[in-house]
Amino acid sequence: MTRALVVFILLLSACFKTLTFSTCDGACPPADAAADQTTVECTLVPDGGVSSDCAASHPDQPMCSSDNTCVQCLSNADCQSVNQSCIQHQCVACTQNSDCSSHLCLAPSCAVGSDVVFVDNGRCDSTPDGSYDHPYCDIGPGIAAGKKYVNVAGSMTEYQQVALTALATETFVMGPGSTAVPTARIHGSSIAFSLAVSSATQDLSLHLSGLEIEDQGSSNGSGVSCYNGSAQKVSMSLFDCAIHDQVSFGVESNCQIGIASSQILTSSVGINTTGGTLSIDRSAINSNTHHAVVVTNTAYTITNSLFFANGLSLNNDQAAIKLDAMSTGVIAFNTIVGNGMQDAGGVNCLGSQTVSDSIVFQNSASSTGTPTTQLSSCGTSNVALGATGTPVFTDPSDYKLDPAAASNLQCCIDKVTDVTGIPNTDHDIYGVHRPLGMGYDIGATEVK
Protein backbone atom coordinates (compact mmCIF):
# COMPACT_ATOMS: atom_id res chain seq x y z
CA MET A 1 0.00 0.00 0.00
CA THR A 2 2.79 2.44 0.90
CA ARG A 3 4.66 1.62 -2.31
CA ALA A 4 1.53 2.27 -4.44
CA LEU A 5 0.97 5.62 -2.70
CA VAL A 6 4.55 6.69 -3.47
CA VAL A 7 4.16 5.77 -7.15
CA PHE A 8 0.91 7.76 -7.35
CA ILE A 9 2.57 10.84 -5.80
CA LEU A 10 5.51 10.60 -8.22
CA LEU A 11 3.18 10.35 -11.20
CA LEU A 12 1.15 13.31 -10.00
CA SER A 13 4.34 15.37 -9.53
CA ALA A 14 5.50 14.50 -13.08
CA CYS A 15 2.18 15.68 -14.43
CA PHE A 16 2.75 19.16 -13.02
CA LYS A 17 6.32 19.28 -14.32
CA THR A 18 5.23 18.53 -17.93
CA LEU A 19 2.10 20.68 -17.87
CA THR A 20 1.70 22.96 -20.97
CA PHE A 21 -1.11 25.39 -21.53
CA SER A 22 -2.36 24.03 -24.84
CA THR A 23 -2.20 20.28 -24.10
CA CYS A 24 -3.08 19.66 -20.46
CA ASP A 25 -6.75 20.73 -20.85
CA GLY A 26 -7.31 20.64 -17.07
CA ALA A 27 -6.47 16.93 -16.72
CA CYS A 28 -3.73 17.68 -14.22
CA PRO A 29 -5.04 19.48 -11.11
CA PRO A 30 -3.02 22.55 -10.00
CA ALA A 31 -0.65 22.03 -7.10
CA ASP A 32 -1.24 25.52 -5.70
CA ALA A 33 -2.71 28.91 -6.50
CA ALA A 34 0.39 30.09 -8.37
CA ALA A 35 0.20 27.12 -10.75
CA ASP A 36 -3.52 27.72 -11.24
CA GLN A 37 -2.82 31.24 -12.54
CA THR A 38 -0.72 29.83 -15.45
CA THR A 39 -3.34 27.31 -16.63
CA VAL A 40 -6.32 29.58 -17.30
CA GLU A 41 -8.49 27.94 -19.95
CA CYS A 42 -8.31 29.46 -23.45
CA THR A 43 -11.49 31.34 -24.34
CA LEU A 44 -12.61 31.63 -27.98
CA VAL A 45 -12.68 35.24 -29.19
CA PRO A 46 -15.96 35.93 -31.04
CA ASP A 47 -14.43 37.99 -33.86
CA GLY A 48 -11.46 35.65 -34.30
CA GLY A 49 -9.00 38.13 -32.82
CA VAL A 50 -5.99 37.47 -30.63
CA SER A 51 -6.81 35.68 -27.39
CA SER A 52 -5.33 37.41 -24.37
CA ASP A 53 -5.13 34.04 -22.67
CA CYS A 54 -2.99 32.56 -25.46
CA ALA A 55 -0.94 35.68 -26.17
CA ALA A 56 0.20 35.86 -22.53
CA SER A 57 1.35 32.24 -22.31
CA HIS A 58 2.02 31.33 -25.97
CA PRO A 59 3.16 34.34 -28.04
CA ASP A 60 3.80 32.06 -31.05
CA GLN A 61 0.26 30.63 -30.77
CA PRO A 62 -1.87 33.67 -29.99
CA MET A 63 -5.22 32.47 -31.35
CA CYS A 64 -7.82 30.39 -29.55
CA SER A 65 -9.40 27.65 -31.65
CA SER A 66 -12.92 26.28 -31.38
CA ASP A 67 -11.67 23.42 -29.20
CA ASN A 68 -10.20 25.95 -26.71
CA THR A 69 -6.55 25.30 -27.58
CA CYS A 70 -3.99 27.88 -28.56
CA VAL A 71 -2.98 27.81 -32.24
CA GLN A 72 -0.89 29.92 -34.60
CA CYS A 73 -3.75 31.05 -36.86
CA LEU A 74 -7.44 30.74 -37.61
CA SER A 75 -7.49 32.28 -41.10
CA ASN A 76 -5.14 33.58 -43.80
CA ALA A 77 -5.46 37.06 -42.34
CA ASP A 78 -3.62 35.86 -39.22
CA CYS A 79 -0.56 35.01 -41.38
CA GLN A 80 -0.26 38.32 -43.19
CA SER A 81 2.69 39.45 -41.11
CA VAL A 82 4.75 36.54 -42.47
CA ASN A 83 3.07 36.59 -45.91
CA GLN A 84 1.87 33.01 -45.65
CA SER A 85 -1.42 31.15 -45.59
CA CYS A 86 -3.22 29.41 -42.70
CA ILE A 87 -3.59 25.66 -43.18
CA GLN A 88 -4.66 23.45 -40.27
CA HIS A 89 -4.02 26.32 -37.84
CA GLN A 90 -0.40 26.81 -39.00
CA CYS A 91 1.12 29.54 -41.16
CA VAL A 92 2.68 27.76 -44.13
CA ALA A 93 3.95 28.59 -47.61
CA CYS A 94 1.20 29.20 -50.18
CA THR A 95 0.85 27.15 -53.37
CA GLN A 96 -2.07 28.93 -55.07
CA ASN A 97 -3.77 32.31 -55.01
CA SER A 98 -6.73 31.04 -52.99
CA ASP A 99 -4.36 30.25 -50.10
CA CYS A 100 -3.76 33.97 -49.53
CA SER A 101 -5.91 36.68 -48.02
CA SER A 102 -4.32 38.99 -50.62
CA HIS A 103 -5.54 36.59 -53.36
CA LEU A 104 -2.03 36.45 -54.84
CA CYS A 105 0.49 33.72 -54.09
CA LEU A 106 4.12 34.47 -54.89
CA ALA A 107 5.25 31.02 -53.81
CA PRO A 108 6.30 30.41 -51.17
CA SER A 109 4.88 33.66 -49.76
CA CYS A 110 1.65 35.56 -50.20
CA ALA A 111 1.83 39.04 -51.64
CA VAL A 112 1.10 41.92 -49.30
CA GLY A 113 -2.49 42.96 -49.95
CA SER A 114 -1.70 46.66 -50.29
CA ASP A 115 0.75 45.87 -53.12
CA VAL A 116 -1.82 44.16 -55.36
CA VAL A 117 -4.35 45.49 -57.85
CA PHE A 118 -6.76 43.24 -59.77
CA VAL A 119 -7.88 43.26 -63.41
CA ASP A 120 -10.75 41.05 -64.58
CA ASN A 121 -12.95 42.06 -67.52
CA GLY A 122 -15.31 39.23 -66.67
CA ARG A 123 -16.10 40.49 -63.15
CA CYS A 124 -15.58 44.25 -63.32
CA ASP A 125 -18.52 46.56 -62.66
CA SER A 126 -19.37 50.22 -63.19
CA THR A 127 -17.31 51.36 -60.20
CA PRO A 128 -13.99 49.49 -60.41
CA ASP A 129 -11.31 50.40 -57.88
CA GLY A 130 -8.79 47.61 -58.45
CA SER A 131 -9.76 45.63 -55.36
CA TYR A 132 -10.46 41.91 -55.57
CA ASP A 133 -14.21 42.52 -55.32
CA HIS A 134 -14.19 45.46 -57.77
CA PRO A 135 -11.39 44.77 -60.29
CA TYR A 136 -10.46 47.04 -63.16
CA CYS A 137 -11.78 46.11 -66.57
CA ASP A 138 -8.47 46.58 -68.39
CA ILE A 139 -4.74 46.34 -67.79
CA GLY A 140 -3.83 49.98 -68.45
CA PRO A 141 -5.78 51.37 -65.48
CA GLY A 142 -4.40 48.56 -63.34
CA ILE A 143 -0.81 49.60 -64.06
CA ALA A 144 -1.70 53.27 -63.63
CA ALA A 145 -2.79 52.52 -60.06
CA GLY A 146 0.91 52.37 -59.19
CA LYS A 147 0.86 49.09 -57.29
CA LYS A 148 3.71 46.58 -57.52
CA TYR A 149 1.59 43.63 -58.68
CA VAL A 150 -1.13 43.73 -61.34
CA ASN A 151 -3.02 40.43 -61.22
CA VAL A 152 -4.80 39.82 -64.55
CA ALA A 153 -7.49 37.16 -64.69
CA GLY A 154 -7.97 34.78 -67.59
CA SER A 155 -10.93 35.68 -69.75
CA MET A 156 -12.74 34.65 -72.92
CA THR A 157 -12.81 38.35 -73.79
CA GLU A 158 -9.56 39.95 -74.95
CA TYR A 159 -7.94 42.85 -73.10
CA GLN A 160 -7.13 46.10 -74.90
CA GLN A 161 -3.60 47.00 -75.92
CA VAL A 162 -1.37 48.72 -73.37
CA ALA A 163 0.74 51.80 -74.13
CA LEU A 164 2.96 53.06 -71.30
CA THR A 165 5.22 56.10 -71.14
CA ALA A 166 5.81 56.00 -67.39
CA LEU A 167 6.00 53.32 -64.75
CA ALA A 168 6.40 52.73 -61.05
CA THR A 169 9.95 51.71 -60.15
CA GLU A 170 9.14 47.99 -60.52
CA THR A 171 5.89 46.55 -61.81
CA PHE A 172 4.76 42.95 -62.29
CA VAL A 173 1.86 42.23 -64.68
CA MET A 174 0.81 38.65 -63.99
CA GLY A 175 -1.64 36.54 -65.97
CA PRO A 176 -2.79 32.97 -65.24
CA GLY A 177 -0.27 31.35 -67.63
CA SER A 178 0.32 31.16 -71.37
CA THR A 179 -1.46 27.78 -71.61
CA ALA A 180 -4.22 28.48 -69.08
CA VAL A 181 -7.85 28.05 -70.11
CA PRO A 182 -8.73 30.79 -70.62
CA THR A 183 -5.59 32.89 -70.97
CA ALA A 184 -5.27 36.60 -70.30
CA ARG A 185 -5.08 37.65 -73.96
CA ILE A 186 -4.00 41.13 -75.07
CA HIS A 187 -5.16 41.87 -78.61
CA GLY A 188 -3.48 44.93 -80.10
CA SER A 189 -4.32 47.01 -83.15
CA SER A 190 -0.72 48.24 -83.52
CA ILE A 191 1.67 47.42 -80.67
CA ALA A 192 -0.10 45.18 -78.20
CA PHE A 193 2.08 46.04 -75.19
CA SER A 194 4.52 48.94 -75.34
CA LEU A 195 6.76 50.73 -72.89
CA ALA A 196 8.34 53.87 -74.32
CA VAL A 197 10.39 55.90 -71.84
CA SER A 198 11.74 59.24 -73.02
CA SER A 199 12.95 60.45 -69.63
CA ALA A 200 13.23 58.94 -66.18
CA THR A 201 14.75 59.88 -62.85
CA GLN A 202 15.41 56.30 -61.75
CA ASP A 203 15.81 52.79 -63.16
CA LEU A 204 12.55 51.13 -64.24
CA SER A 205 11.61 47.45 -64.45
CA LEU A 206 8.55 45.86 -66.04
CA HIS A 207 7.89 42.13 -65.68
CA LEU A 208 5.27 40.38 -67.82
CA SER A 209 4.28 36.80 -67.03
CA GLY A 210 1.54 34.34 -67.90
CA LEU A 211 0.13 36.42 -70.78
CA GLU A 212 -0.93 35.74 -74.37
CA ILE A 213 -0.20 38.62 -76.75
CA GLU A 214 -1.39 38.83 -80.36
CA ASP A 215 -1.89 41.39 -83.12
CA GLN A 216 -4.90 42.43 -85.23
CA GLY A 217 -2.98 42.77 -88.46
CA SER A 218 -1.71 46.36 -88.50
CA SER A 219 1.05 47.07 -91.02
CA ASN A 220 3.41 47.97 -88.15
CA GLY A 221 1.97 45.66 -85.56
CA SER A 222 4.26 44.21 -82.92
CA GLY A 223 3.61 42.18 -79.81
CA VAL A 224 5.86 43.73 -77.17
CA SER A 225 7.95 46.85 -77.59
CA CYS A 226 10.40 48.37 -75.13
CA TYR A 227 12.05 51.70 -76.00
CA ASN A 228 14.46 53.55 -73.73
CA GLY A 229 15.34 57.13 -74.64
CA SER A 230 16.44 58.06 -71.12
CA ALA A 231 19.77 57.95 -69.35
CA GLN A 232 18.40 55.46 -66.81
CA LYS A 233 18.29 51.69 -67.09
CA VAL A 234 14.97 50.37 -68.38
CA SER A 235 14.48 46.61 -68.19
CA MET A 236 11.70 44.27 -69.22
CA SER A 237 11.28 40.55 -68.61
CA LEU A 238 8.92 38.08 -70.26
CA PHE A 239 8.22 34.82 -68.46
CA ASP A 240 5.74 32.15 -69.56
CA CYS A 241 4.33 34.36 -72.31
CA ALA A 242 2.99 33.36 -75.74
CA ILE A 243 3.45 36.04 -78.42
CA HIS A 244 2.14 35.31 -81.89
CA ASP A 245 0.72 36.59 -85.18
CA GLN A 246 2.55 39.91 -85.33
CA VAL A 247 2.92 41.65 -88.69
CA SER A 248 6.27 43.13 -87.71
CA PHE A 249 8.07 41.86 -84.58
CA GLY A 250 7.05 39.54 -81.82
CA VAL A 251 9.38 41.51 -79.54
CA GLU A 252 11.32 44.69 -80.37
CA SER A 253 13.63 46.39 -77.90
CA ASN A 254 16.58 48.62 -77.17
CA CYS A 255 16.12 48.04 -73.42
CA GLN A 256 17.60 45.37 -71.21
CA ILE A 257 15.23 42.53 -72.02
CA GLY A 258 15.03 38.98 -70.72
CA ILE A 259 12.86 36.23 -72.22
CA ALA A 260 12.37 32.92 -70.38
CA SER A 261 10.02 29.95 -70.67
CA SER A 262 8.15 31.69 -73.48
CA GLN A 263 7.14 31.03 -77.07
CA ILE A 264 7.35 33.59 -79.88
CA LEU A 265 5.92 32.43 -83.18
CA THR A 266 4.12 33.15 -86.45
CA SER A 267 5.32 36.74 -86.72
CA SER A 268 7.45 38.43 -89.35
CA VAL A 269 10.55 38.47 -87.11
CA GLY A 270 10.43 36.82 -83.71
CA ILE A 271 12.79 39.12 -81.77
CA ASN A 272 14.55 42.29 -82.96
CA THR A 273 16.98 44.21 -80.75
CA THR A 274 18.81 47.44 -81.60
CA GLY A 275 20.91 48.10 -78.51
CA GLY A 276 20.65 47.25 -74.86
CA THR A 277 20.93 43.63 -73.79
CA LEU A 278 19.09 40.42 -74.70
CA SER A 279 18.75 37.22 -72.69
CA ILE A 280 16.83 34.20 -74.02
CA ASP A 281 16.55 31.01 -71.96
CA ARG A 282 14.21 28.00 -72.04
CA SER A 283 12.17 29.43 -74.91
CA ALA A 284 10.93 28.37 -78.35
CA ILE A 285 11.15 30.81 -81.28
CA ASN A 286 9.52 29.20 -84.28
CA SER A 287 7.48 29.53 -87.46
CA ASN A 288 8.32 33.19 -88.04
CA THR A 289 8.32 34.36 -91.67
CA HIS A 290 11.80 35.91 -91.57
CA HIS A 291 14.42 35.51 -88.85
CA ALA A 292 13.78 34.12 -85.41
CA VAL A 293 16.19 36.64 -83.83
CA VAL A 294 17.94 39.71 -85.25
CA VAL A 295 20.56 41.21 -82.92
CA THR A 296 22.09 44.65 -83.63
CA ASN A 297 24.61 46.36 -81.35
CA THR A 298 23.41 44.22 -78.45
CA ALA A 299 25.04 42.16 -75.71
CA TYR A 300 23.26 38.81 -75.83
CA THR A 301 22.93 35.49 -74.00
CA ILE A 302 20.97 32.77 -75.81
CA THR A 303 20.78 29.42 -74.01
CA ASN A 304 18.65 26.27 -73.67
CA SER A 305 16.27 27.33 -76.43
CA LEU A 306 14.72 25.90 -79.56
CA PHE A 307 14.64 27.55 -82.99
CA PHE A 308 12.79 25.82 -85.83
CA ALA A 309 10.77 26.49 -88.99
CA ASN A 310 11.81 30.14 -89.26
CA GLY A 311 12.47 31.88 -92.59
CA LEU A 312 10.70 29.28 -94.72
CA SER A 313 8.36 31.60 -96.63
CA LEU A 314 10.93 33.62 -98.58
CA ASN A 315 13.44 32.40 -101.13
CA ASN A 316 16.40 34.32 -99.70
CA ASP A 317 18.96 34.08 -96.94
CA GLN A 318 16.92 34.00 -93.71
CA ALA A 319 19.06 32.55 -90.92
CA ALA A 320 17.30 31.68 -87.70
CA ILE A 321 19.69 33.91 -85.72
CA LYS A 322 21.40 36.92 -87.31
CA LEU A 323 24.12 38.80 -85.43
CA ASP A 324 25.69 42.06 -86.56
CA ALA A 325 29.40 42.80 -86.12
CA MET A 326 28.83 45.03 -83.06
CA SER A 327 27.00 42.38 -81.03
CA THR A 328 28.78 40.08 -78.60
CA GLY A 329 27.72 37.34 -76.26
CA VAL A 330 27.03 33.65 -75.73
CA ILE A 331 25.01 31.20 -77.84
CA ALA A 332 25.14 27.81 -76.13
CA PHE A 333 23.02 24.70 -75.56
CA ASN A 334 20.44 25.46 -78.24
CA THR A 335 18.75 23.33 -80.89
CA ILE A 336 18.52 25.14 -84.24
CA VAL A 337 16.82 22.90 -86.78
CA GLY A 338 14.93 23.29 -90.06
CA ASN A 339 15.27 27.05 -90.62
CA GLY A 340 15.91 29.12 -93.77
CA MET A 341 15.38 28.59 -97.48
CA GLN A 342 19.01 28.81 -98.55
CA ASP A 343 22.51 28.74 -97.03
CA ALA A 344 23.18 30.03 -93.52
CA GLY A 345 19.76 28.90 -92.35
CA GLY A 346 21.12 28.31 -88.85
CA VAL A 347 23.19 31.23 -87.54
CA ASN A 348 24.62 34.12 -89.52
CA CYS A 349 27.54 35.80 -87.73
CA LEU A 350 28.71 39.13 -89.16
CA GLY A 351 31.37 39.48 -86.47
CA SER A 352 33.66 37.09 -84.65
CA GLN A 353 30.89 35.38 -82.65
CA THR A 354 30.97 31.73 -81.56
CA VAL A 355 28.22 29.12 -81.32
CA SER A 356 28.87 26.36 -78.79
CA ASP A 357 27.35 23.19 -77.38
CA SER A 358 24.40 23.34 -79.79
CA ILE A 359 22.68 21.26 -82.44
CA VAL A 360 22.62 23.20 -85.73
CA PHE A 361 21.16 20.81 -88.26
CA GLN A 362 19.09 20.56 -91.45
CA ASN A 363 18.80 24.31 -91.91
CA SER A 364 17.96 25.66 -95.39
CA ALA A 365 16.06 23.69 -97.99
CA SER A 366 19.17 23.22 -100.08
CA SER A 367 21.27 22.08 -97.13
CA THR A 368 23.51 19.06 -97.62
CA GLY A 369 24.27 18.75 -93.95
CA THR A 370 27.75 20.21 -94.25
CA PRO A 371 28.92 22.88 -91.81
CA THR A 372 28.99 25.72 -94.35
CA THR A 373 25.24 25.57 -94.93
CA GLN A 374 24.37 25.61 -91.22
CA LEU A 375 26.54 28.48 -89.98
CA SER A 376 27.89 31.56 -91.71
CA SER A 377 31.19 33.07 -90.44
CA CYS A 378 30.64 31.71 -86.93
CA GLY A 379 33.24 30.14 -84.71
CA THR A 380 32.18 26.80 -83.25
CA SER A 381 32.81 24.65 -80.20
CA ASN A 382 31.03 21.34 -79.61
CA VAL A 383 28.44 21.98 -82.32
CA ALA A 384 26.54 19.01 -83.80
CA LEU A 385 26.17 19.69 -87.52
CA GLY A 386 25.38 16.16 -88.64
CA ALA A 387 28.90 15.34 -89.78
CA THR A 388 29.60 13.08 -86.79
CA GLY A 389 26.33 11.32 -86.16
CA THR A 390 22.91 12.56 -87.19
CA PRO A 391 20.83 13.87 -84.27
CA VAL A 392 17.74 11.72 -83.77
CA PHE A 393 14.74 13.18 -81.93
CA THR A 394 11.99 11.28 -80.12
CA ASP A 395 9.31 13.58 -81.52
CA PRO A 396 9.62 16.21 -84.28
CA SER A 397 7.51 18.58 -82.18
CA ASP A 398 9.70 18.72 -79.08
CA TYR A 399 13.21 17.94 -80.43
CA LYS A 400 14.20 15.82 -77.44
CA LEU A 401 17.19 13.59 -78.10
CA ASP A 402 16.41 9.89 -78.40
CA PRO A 403 18.55 8.15 -75.74
CA ALA A 404 18.37 4.86 -77.66
CA ALA A 405 19.82 6.24 -80.91
CA ALA A 406 23.46 5.26 -81.43
CA SER A 407 24.12 8.36 -83.53
CA ASN A 408 23.15 10.58 -80.57
CA LEU A 409 25.92 8.97 -78.56
CA GLN A 410 28.30 9.96 -81.34
CA CYS A 411 27.18 13.55 -81.78
CA CYS A 412 25.45 14.83 -78.72
CA ILE A 413 25.08 12.90 -75.44
CA ASP A 414 27.62 13.59 -72.65
CA LYS A 415 29.85 15.55 -75.05
CA VAL A 416 30.40 18.70 -72.97
CA THR A 417 32.54 18.71 -69.82
CA ASP A 418 33.70 22.33 -69.61
CA VAL A 419 30.99 25.00 -69.24
CA THR A 420 33.23 27.78 -67.98
CA GLY A 421 31.79 31.19 -68.84
CA ILE A 422 28.41 29.82 -69.92
CA PRO A 423 25.34 30.82 -67.84
CA ASN A 424 22.22 28.73 -67.21
CA THR A 425 23.98 25.38 -67.39
CA ASP A 426 22.05 23.69 -64.55
CA HIS A 427 18.88 23.08 -66.61
CA ASP A 428 17.61 22.40 -70.13
CA ILE A 429 14.68 23.92 -72.02
CA TYR A 430 12.18 21.76 -70.12
CA GLY A 431 13.71 22.42 -66.70
CA VAL A 432 15.47 19.06 -66.53
CA HIS A 433 18.62 19.21 -64.42
CA ARG A 434 21.98 19.27 -66.22
CA PRO A 435 24.13 17.23 -66.37
CA LEU A 436 22.54 13.81 -65.92
CA GLY A 437 25.44 11.76 -67.22
CA MET A 438 29.22 11.95 -67.40
CA GLY A 439 28.88 15.25 -69.26
CA TYR A 440 26.37 17.76 -70.58
CA ASP A 441 24.31 16.91 -73.66
CA ILE A 442 24.69 19.14 -76.70
CA GLY A 443 21.54 21.02 -77.65
CA ALA A 444 18.52 22.41 -75.81
CA THR A 445 17.52 19.14 -74.13
CA GLU A 446 19.22 16.84 -71.62
CA VAL A 447 18.51 13.12 -71.99
CA LYS A 448 16.83 11.66 -68.91
- Regarding whether 257 and 239 lie in a shared domain, the answer is yes
- Regarding whether 284 and 245 lie in a shared domain, the answer is no
Cβ contact 393:408 at 8 Å: no
Rounded to whole angstroms, how far apart are CA atoms 355 and 333? 9
Q: Is the residue at 398 inside a domain?
A: yes
Q: What is the pLDDT of residues 351-365, one digit of tens each?
A: 889 999 999 988 875
- Regarding whether 138 and 70 lie in a shared domain, the answer is no
* pTM score, whole prediction: 0.83
Q: Is the residue at 306 inside a domain?
A: yes
Q: Is the residue at 1 inside a domain?
A: no
Phi and psi torsions of 313, nearest 5°: -95, -15
Cβ contact 236:253 at 8 Å: yes
Last residue within a domain, chosen from 46, 63, 96: 96
Last residue within a domain, chosen from 261, 296, 323: 261
Strand stretches in 42-156, DSSP E: 63-64, 70-71, 85-87, 90-92, 105-106, 109-110, 116-119, 149-152
- Regarding whether 347 and 428 lie in a shared domain, the answer is yes
Q: Is the residue at 74 inside a domain?
A: yes
Chain Cα centroid distance, residue 294: 24
Q: What is the pLDDT of residues 7-31, one digit of tens each?
A: 433 443 443 333 333 333 333 333 3
The count of domains in the chain is 3
Q: Is the residue at 103 inside a domain?
A: no
- Regarding whether 448 and 344 lie in a shared domain, the answer is yes
Nearest to 16 by CA among 6, 30, 26, 34: 30
Rounded to whole angstroms, how far apart are CA atoms 442 and 130? 48
- Regarding whether 298 and 417 lie in a shared domain, the answer is yes
Q: Is the residue at 6 inside a domain?
A: no
Q: What is the pLDDT of residues 161-185, one digit of tens each?
A: 999 998 988 999 999 999 999 999 9
Q: Is the residue at 369 inside a domain?
A: yes
Rounded to whole angstroms, how far apart are CA atoms 365 and 322? 18
- Regarding whether 285 and 149 lie in a shared domain, the answer is no
- Regarding whether 302 and 198 lie in a shared domain, the answer is no
Q: Which domain holds residue 373?
A: 268-448
Q: Is the residue at 104 inside a domain?
A: no
Last residue within a domain, chosen from 261, 278, 306: 261
- Regarding whether 158 and 223 lie in a shared domain, the answer is yes
* CA dist 438 → 358, 413, 427, 445 (Å): 18, 9, 15, 15
- Regarding whether 91 and 124 lie in a shared domain, the answer is no
Q: Is 428 helix (H, G, I), strand (E, B) or coil?
A: coil
Rounded to whole angstroms, how far apart are CA atoms 410 and 429? 22
Containing 407, the helix (H) or strand (E) segment is helix 406-411
- Regarding whether 327 and 191 lie in a shared domain, the answer is no
Which residues fall within 8 angstroms of residue 126, CB to CB, at 6 or more apart?
Answer: none
Mean pLDDT score across all residues of the chain: 86
- Residue 152, pLDDT > 90, answer yes
